[in-house]
Amino acid sequence: MAGPAHEGYHLGYRSIPTRFDLPVSSPLYNSALSRFVEIIKIHQGSIEETRMPKYNFERFFDLSPDMLCIASLDGYFKCVNHSFQRVLGWKLEELISQPFIHFVHPDDVAATVSEIEKLGKGISAISFQNRYRCLDGTYRYLRWAAFPEKETESLFAVAHEITDLMEIIERLYLVVEASPTAMMMVNRNGAIQLVNQAVEQLLNYSRGDLIGKSIEMLVPTGSRIRHQQDRATFFGNPQMCLMGAGRYLNAMRRDGSEFPVEIGLNPVKLSDEQYVIATIVDLTRQKNAEEKLTMLAKDLEEANKKLLQLASTDRLTGLRNRGAFDEQLDTQIHLLKRMGKPLSLIMIDIDYFKQYNDKYGHQAGDEALKTVASLLSKCVRSSDTLARYGGEEFVIILPNTTKSDTMQLAKRLQMVIHHHSWGKKRLTISLGASTLTFTENALAITAEDFIYNTKLLSEADQALYYSKINGRDRAIHFSEIENANKST
């Protein structure tokens, strides 16, 4: 009476039907039927000890819409009800006179015999199906629940016709199998019911490895509990699709390797049972492409930073170049004018550098420039901007720095260069400084900003010139020149 529903897939039907119907009367009725009723009552959860009149059982047995029977382990029906004749077309006498295996589809015989052998060992068969031949030569799918009775060597069975359901499933199977996308069907308990060839290829499992197994076997260990919770939530309200289309997860192949997938879920109801058909899309290539894109974007960003750095850096000294200095000076003027804070500037020139360069050569001159740049860099703040202004000239932007603080730094720089241990010849520097003081809350950008820029540079340059004509190796602020001019 048992057999596979279809080779390659299996549906997990409910083990106990919602409606119980009983078999026809026969000479064995008195001994077997009472035991049959007791078994049915047990599986219905009934523990009543009430004894119903015999004629009520017979009538219930006769009118049952389900197919009820008592069979023997020798392969014959002992009794069947009229639903067998209604479904299969055979007279009851014809069904009882021949071995029931005679009516089973040839492809289901081996599996049916296997189930009978299990029943003979006292193992109940809950929810299995096979095909029975009708009088007109066609076949009907039957779903069985069978229970062995050792005392009488009898089998008590209830069958329900599921041909229409199986035809629906067959069509569903063909659609799923034809899909180039990996698809599988899972019941509410998480048992895999159906898979197509694309699933086998994607996960490196055969159908036999997957059918009837838990879907969680395909989920990485660390995510299984969460997946079980999400599955329970989904089946509680399939329309919510908490696990639904567009969810990104990691799946696990037979060899344990993990890979990213996108899961789409479609709820399906078959014979009052809720299932879900899941589509599985491998995102490995997409993820790899995204990672490569991210790496390329990062590399591009780094390259742009390097290009920007190269474009704004003096190649010899590693300091900011003239272009970067001009841009930073404009920025600081806008910022400090709005804040109402002072902005100072120091211009620096290496004394007699041309003679040094001519005497010791350009290579020695380059080394001297790098040494001066290094010494100056060690004295300025991180908020200051030190740049090579051109040739042997350097410049420092000092945001939020007063005249007195500017001169303290200038004199310190002058002394650092003066007292440095120069190998060939002592080098000194001349420095000129200027300071702008802004009114608080001034407009950030105005036409006067260019004037401020020019004024600051011009005054620092004049102060530098004054340092040179007054003996070099010294630092002078522009305000000192103004005061000297006023006194004369």
Catalytic residues: 392
Three-state secondary structure of the chain: CCECCECCECCCCCCCCCCCCCCCCCCCHHHHHHHHHHHHHHHCCCCCCCCCCHHHHHHHHHHCCCEEEEEECCCEEEEECHHHHHHHCCCHHHHHHCEHHHHECHHHHHHHHHHHHHHHCCCCEEEEEEEEECCCCCEEEEEEEEEEECCCCEEEEEEEECHHHHHHHHHHHHHHHHCCCEEEEEECCCEEEEECHHHHHHHCCCHHHHCCCEHHHHCCHHHHHHHHHHHHHHHHCHHHCCCCCCEEEEEECCCCCEEEEEEEEEEEEECCEEEEEEEEEECHHHHHHHHHHHHHHHHHHHHHHHHHHHHHECCCCCCECHHHHHHHHHHHHHHHHHHCCCEEEEEEEECCHHHHHHHHCHHHHHHHHHHHHHHHHCCCCCCCEEEEEECCEEEEEEECCCHHHHHHHHHHHHHHHHCCCCCCCCCCEEEEEEEECCCCCCCCCCCHHHHHHHHHHHHHHHHHHHHHHCCCCCEEEHHHHHHHHHHC
C-beta atoms surrounding 159 within 10 Å = 26
Q: Please give the distance of CA 467 from its chain centroid, rounded to a whole number.
A: 67
CA-based end-to-end distance of the chain: 127
Largest CA distance in the chain: 146
Q: Are 23 and 68 in contact (CB under 8 A)?
A: yes
> What are the tokens at 86?
């209604």
